[in-house]
A and B are shown apart, each in its own frame.
Chain A
Amino acid sequence: EAQVTQNPRYLITVTGKKLTVTCSQNMNHEYMSWYRQDPGLGLRQIYYSMNVEVTDKGDVPEGYKVSRKEKRNFPLILESPSPNQTSLYFCASSLSGVGAGVNQETQYFGPGTRLLVL
Chain B
Amino acid sequence: GQNIDQPTEMTATEGAIVQINCTYQTSGFNGLFWYQQHAGEAPTFLSYNVLDGLEEKGRFSSFLSRSKGYSYLLLKELQMKDSASYLCAVRDRGSTLGRLYFGRGTQLTVWP
**A109 vs B102: C-alpha distance when bound (angstroms):** 14
**A35 vs B27: C-alpha distance when bound (angstroms):** 22
Type the 1/0 row for B76-112, where 1 means its CB is closer than 8 Å to any CB of A: 0000000000010101010001111111110000000
**A109 vs B100: C-alpha distance when bound (angstroms):** 13
Q: For chain A, give the interface size range.
A: 20 to 34
Quick check: A42 and B105 within 8 Å, CB to CB?
yes
A19 CB-CB contact with B under 8 Å: no
Quick check: B91 and A99 within 8 Å, CB to CB?
yes
Q: Taking each of A31, A42, A45, A109, which has the highest tally of chain B beta carbons within 10 Å of its own beta carbon?
A: A42
Quick check: A109 and B43 within 8 Å, CB to CB?
yes
Chain B 13-47 residues near chain A, CB threshold 8 A: 30-31, 33, 40-45
Residues of A within 8 A of B40 (CB): 112
**A44 vs B105: C-alpha distance when bound (angstroms):** 12
Q: A90-B42, A90-B43 are in contact. Are A45 and B99 (CB under 8 A)?
A: yes
B70 CB-CB contact with A under 8 Å: no
Q: A42-B104, A105-B91, A106-B48 are in contact. Are A97 and B98 (CB under 8 A)?
A: yes
CB distance from A55 to the nearest CB of B (A): 11
Q: A43-B43, A43-B102 are in contact. Are A106 and B91 (CB under 8 A)?
A: no
A108 CB-CB contact with B under 8 Å: yes
Q: Say which residue of B30, B91, B98, B104 sits within 8 Å of A50 (CB atoms).
A: B98
Quick check: A112 and B41 within 8 Å, CB to CB?
yes
Quick check: A107 and B45 within 8 Å, CB to CB?
yes
Q: Which 6 A-B pairs give the minimum distances between C-beta atoms?
A: A97-B98, A42-B104, A109-B42, A102-B48, A43-B102, A99-B30
Enumerate chain A interface residues (CB-CB to B < 8 A).
31, 33, 35, 40-45, 48, 50, 56, 58-59, 90, 97-99, 101-102, 105-112
Known: A56-B98, A111-B42, A112-B41. 18 other contacts (CB 8 A): A31-B98, A35-B102, A40-B104, A41-B104, A45-B99, A45-B100, A48-B99, A59-B1, A97-B97, A98-B97, A99-B31, A99-B91, A102-B31, A105-B31, A105-B91, A106-B33, A106-B48, A109-B44
